[in-house]
Structure 1
Amino acid sequence: MSIDQVVSIGLPVNISPPPGPGPAVTAAETREPLPFGARLLKGERNWWFLGPGGVARLRDRHVTADGGLRPDAEQRLHESGMFTPGRISSYSLTVLTSTHCNLGCGYCFQNTAQDQAGGSRPPRIAQTRLTSKTITEILGFTERQMSEAGLDKLRILLFGGEPLLNPRGCLELLERAAGIAPTSAWMISNATLLTPSLARRLADLGLTSVQVTFDGDRADHDRIRVGRADGGATFDKIVGNMAKASEDTALQWTLRVNVSQETFHGVDALIDRLAGALDPARCTLYFARIGDVGVGYANSLLHTGELPAAFTRWQRRALDLGFTVARPGARKTCVTCGHTDGRYGAVVSADGTLASCWETAGKPDWEVGTAADGYRPGAETRDRWIACQDLYRYDEDARTLARFRDSVDTALLDYLHETGRL
């Protein structure tokens, strides 16, 4: 569908939805949800349609009085591909190269409890480390899965614990994976161990981006995101390592900012500090309220009150400083945990056990198979197959959470349109 055709019913250029699942549809809570995870949000001057095929701007004449799509507008959206999910082209493989971590964050979903001594060593899942033998099993499993799904490309997530506690495992996995399929990779790391030399070697083997977490501005971060062995500060080391790696590689960065009652008031300063230390043009910035996963960490910050306005302020400041902020999208099924047969992706722990999701990898009694033998029958794993954030606990109901996300997403789309960024 051409841009002229889109504009003729008030629909601007499509923008791609971000990866991962989105919020529930709540534009009008009394009507039936739109199909295929689509959402309809009321903006300041227009309506926003968020579908699996992109985002469109609608006028009041395209929407019913109760906040639903009029039949002619829905037909045009279908015809333009807005309801059509993108084709899955790569198999998504998450591998924990090490289940150990050198930091002692109290909220981590891989903790099994809080540190009873009040220090930086909360008990964690059992320590395992990826070996050459397990890599052989994982790649054999991956070839079989890719063949069954009809996929010929591979996208690997290097995960942990801290994946760089086993750099040899990371490098060997990427090098050998290239022998079974065209491979690209990304990594979730705390970046404390990322040297320029290691960054170059990983980038040469297909690593394109790294996600790094910050717990508020420097003072808050250095109180929360601390070394496991000594409780030491980490902020300057992380930022310094990222800056040096950026000088030697073309790596892109995703900066996750954790939001809680302990970090909330430092986020504004953090955004400016990161803009001064890193190249915003190579960074995507996003904000995430820390959730309760049952390890004794309490986040008292609710999704009501000043939080929606704060998220909106932070996103606008990030955009104005040159950072990328992920565009809102439709509710999506995670390619890794959204299919109970692991059709399009898998999570494999360092010992070769399969989990349905990152959040259960390495945890006893949550295994759904092994790389050597494949997935167990569905009847055996039904109660163990969980998807993204299924284990999170909230003090607020689903409607409150959805209103928060809808409010933030609407404000972001309004600002992107207002500033000509769509």
Structure 2
Amino acid sequence: MKALSGGEIPDSLSDVIDGFVDQEFDPEYMIFNKKYLEPTILLTYNCNFDCPYCFQKDYRRKDVVQDKVIRGFINYIKRNSKGRKVRVSYFGGEPLLQLKKIEDISKEIDSSGLDYSFSVITNGSLLSPSVLDKLVSLGLTHVQITLDGPREVHDKRRFFVGGKGSFDLILDHLAYAQDKTNVVLRINVDYRNVDEIRELLSTLKERGIIRVRIDPHLVHENIFRNEYWDNLIAKENEGDILAKVWEIAREEGFQVPHEAFRLGICVAHVEDDIVVDPYGNVYPCWAFTGNPLYVKGTLNEDGTVKLNGKFSSKVAREVWKGKCDNCPFLPMCMGGCRFFSVLNRKGFDGVDCQKRSYEEIVKLIRYFV
């Protein structure tokens, strides 16, 4: 803390501090001066896992992305890159079920002369060394893989269709991937596994898996209801739990990244960063995908997008105005997540206050100085 009080800002915190300087908070400036075009494409709603808390559980289909959607996606990028770097996210379902589609899209974009790279959000089961090497050669820079605890915990939560566990296979893939690309290790946290996080991290260290970024996320309800929601962490305890997980990670020797304090701007706030599914439906963000009630437009084959006037990015990024103007956590929150606002019956344009959680999370700043 002495460094901060003396005016010294560590490099790892510079982006965070910039969001809290004593000047008018201007998300419009940050959004319209982005150096990247960051669209997302869902290649399939199908998955080889059957996780009980999956937010797409009611929308699983075996269809794959249509060729006209791929053409539309590529054309969209060519129309809208405007000199910016292009960073695509491949999502699902399980996107690696459609590895050939990633290869086709990557080669087409790369051949157009654009500065292109991509990330993949995967359960990790199909990310073998040969697959990872192929993806890296195509432009992969980041991969997100999920482990929910040590073997006996993870395999009860994240298992293949049919019930077979996935822990050992994913661990093998992680050990290889950490030396080839940037790995984000997501941990979906609820009351059933929060006390097992330390054992998971100890197991990773034993295997030499230490070059990964730990990214805990709380399991939340979705628009469908099932018995799993009885395991969710109460909203008033969310900040305490996240802080606890970060503290454990630090104690076990894993870096607490500055993304723990990331500014609240997300894909829902940025009109250009479309999220398109296998049928060409465009959504506000990843969490709404599959739900026909929250389609905001359609991607055409020529790369244009026909919006329906609902769930606009402008509405999303202005919900805080007149309500949260004086909140010290505004740059981290932006009025809260649009998806959580919908879940909490406040509507897409409602404020979902997370002040209590942020009060706990910002205490972690001591780890950076």
Shorter-chain TM-score above 0.5 = yes
Residues in 2 aligned to 1:271 and 1:300: alpha-carbon distance in whole angstroms: 22
| Aligned CA distance change for structure 1 residues 16 and 414 (closer, same or farther; 3 Å) | closer
User: Is 1:12–2:9 an aligned residue pair?
Assistant: yes
Match of 1:413 in 2: 365
- The question of whether the paired residues in 2 share the 8 Å contact of 1:287 and 1:311 is answered with yes
1:129 matched to 2:78? The reply is no
Residues 1:244 and 2:176 aligned together: yes
Partner residue of 2:95 out of 151, 163, 168: 163
Alignment check: 8 A CA contact 2:40 2:274 kept: yes
| Alignment partner of 1:227 is 2:160 | yes
Please state whether the residue corresponding to 2:154 is helix, strand or coil: helix
Match of 1:104 in 2: 50
Unaligned 5+ residue runs, structure 1?
Answer: 1-5, 19-49, 57-73, 113-123, 418-422
Kindly report which structure 2 residues correspond to 1:313-332, keeping only aligned pairs within 5 A, or say none: 313-327=244-258, 328-329=260-261, 331-332=263-264
Cα distance in 1, alignment partners of residues 108 and 93 from structure 2: 22
* RMSD over equivalenced CA pairs, Å: 3.4
For residue 390 of structure 1, what is the aligned residue in structure 2?
Answer: 338
Which of 269, 287, 293 in structure 2 is aligned with 1:359?
287
The reply on whether 1:295 has 2:248 as its aligned counterpart is no
The 5 A counterparts of 1:166-181 are: 166-180=98-112, 181=114
Shift of 1:108: 1.4
* Conservation of the 8 A alpha-carbon contact between 2:174 and 2:209: no
Distance in 2 of aligned mates of 1:218 and 1:304 = 29
Shift of 1:415: 2.6
Q: Distance in 1 between matches of 2:263 and 2:201?
A: 27
Match of 2:278 among 334, 345, 350: 350
Asked whether the equivalents of residues 91 and 151 of structure 1 are also in contact (C-alpha less than 8 Å), the reply is no
CA distance in structure 2 between the partners assigned to 1:207 and 1:279 by the alignment: 20
Confirm or deny: 8 A CA contact 1:17 1:330 kept in the other structure.
no
Which deviates further from its counterpart, 98-107 or 130-139?
130-139
CA deviation vs aligned residue, 1:107-146 (integer Å, no higher than 9, x gap): 111122xxxxxxxxxxx34332135443222111221122
Name structure 2 gaps, 5 residues minimum: 318-335, 346-350
Q: What is the identity percentage for the equivalent residue pairs of Structure 1 and Structure 2?
A: 23
Deviations 1:169-211 (A, max 9, x none): 1111112121231111111100111111111010011101211
CA distance in 2, matches of 1:245, 1:9: 40
Which of 258, 266, 270 is 2:188 aligned to?
258
Shift of 1:390: 2.3
Q: Aligned AA for 1:251?
A: T
Contact 1:89–1:153 under 8 Å retained in 2: yes
TM-score by length of 1: 0.70
Match of 1:379 in 2: 309
TM-aligned CA deviation for residue 215 of structure 1: 1.9
Counterpart for residue 215 of structure 2: 286
Deviation at 1:398, TM superposition (A): 4.9
User: Is the CA contact 2:300–2:306 (under 8 Å) kept in the aligned structure 1?
Assistant: no
CA offsets, 1:71-114, max 9 Å, x none? Answer: xxx37x99xx9x984841110011112210111112111122xx
**Matched residues in 2 for 1:300 and 1:266: separation?**
15
Higher mean Cα deviation, 207-216 or 354-363?
A: 354-363
Q: Distance in 1 between matches of 2:14 and 2:261?
A: 4
Query: Where in structure 2 are the equivalents of 1:20-31 lying within 5 Å?
Result: none
For the pair 1:337 / 2:265, whether they are aligned, the reply is: no
2: CA distance between counterparts of 1:283 and 1:252?
7
Cα distance in 2 for residues equivalent to 1:231 and 1:272: 26
Task: Report the CA distance shift for 1:289/1:330 in structure 2 as closer, same or farther (over 3 A).
Answer: closer
1:243 Cα offset (Å): 1.7
TM-score (norm. length: structure 2) = 0.79
Distance 1:165 1:278, change over 3 A: farther
**1:328-372 residue CA offsets vs partner (Å, 9 max, x unmatched):** 4364321x3213xx22x1112123332221122233343311242
Whether contact under 8 Å (2:89, 2:119) holds in the other structure is yes
How much has 1:318 moved relative to structure 2? 2.0
What is the alpha-carbon distance in structure 1 between the residues aligned to residue 4 and residue 191 of structure 2?
43
Equivalence for 1:46: none
